[in-house]
Amino acid sequence: MGASERNWPRPDVRRRAGCARGRGNRAAHCTDDVLTTVLVVHGPNLGTLGRREPELYGTTTLAAINAALVELASSWGWQISVFQSNSEGAIIDAIEQRAGDIDGLLLNPGALAHYGLGLRDALAGLTVPVVEVHLTNIHAREDWRRRSVTAEVSRGLISGFGWRSYVLGLRAMHGMLSDTES
């Protein structure tokens, strides 16, 4: 399976001059007509959710997770852009290409969390908050899964709540970007 992405429909919103993105904060005059955009990145093997080891990862599909995120984000007037790849290089490229157009990154790096130093370095260069999520509790699994090199450069890590880890991660992102609790 190759890389797949989907830019969900959004209203025709134009950025005003001087409304640059970065660190999740914009000037006050920019908030009225700039749509908050979160990039959701799904790493290796997540395209087969619902079929792959359902006893461990559950039966919820990636499409269902994406739909739940879009529904929640839409309730806030936000846009979700989704990308999935089994390739670390493709994931890095997608993040770098969108870095100036997003307000936050919700990331499930899959196994790349444990050894993806290239991905880690790409995340370290971002100026927007990164929330890492995992379906399983990585600290309750094999020793080698307990360390996340990508979490070291993320704002936070949520794991162990199945597909709800994504929803919790997006809610945390909303709190950070809105400076409120959600």
Q: For residue range 150-168, what is the model confidence (pLDDT) as tens digits?
A: 989 999 999 999 999 999 9
Q: Does residue 57 carry a catalytic annotation? A: yes
Kindly report the CATH number assigned to the domain that includes residue 139: 3.40.50.9100
Domain with 45, as residue range(s), is 21-178
Number of domains in the chain: 1
Report the pLDDT averaged over residues 143-156. 86
pTM of structure: 0.81
Task: Encode pLDDT of 131-140 as tens digits.
Answer: 999 999 887 7
Local confidence band at 143 (pLDDT 50, 70, 90 cut-offs): confident
Residue with tokens 């990039």: 39
31-73 pLDDT, tens digit per residue, is: 555 789 999 999 999 999 999 989 989 999 999 999 999 999 9
20, pLDDT greater than 50: no
* Inside any domain, residue 44: yes
CA distances from 107 to 26, 89, 163, 164 (A): 22, 15, 13, 14
Q: Which of 29, 42, 134, 166 is catalytic?
A: 134
Question: Among the options 29, 42, 57, 115, which is catalytic?
Answer: 57
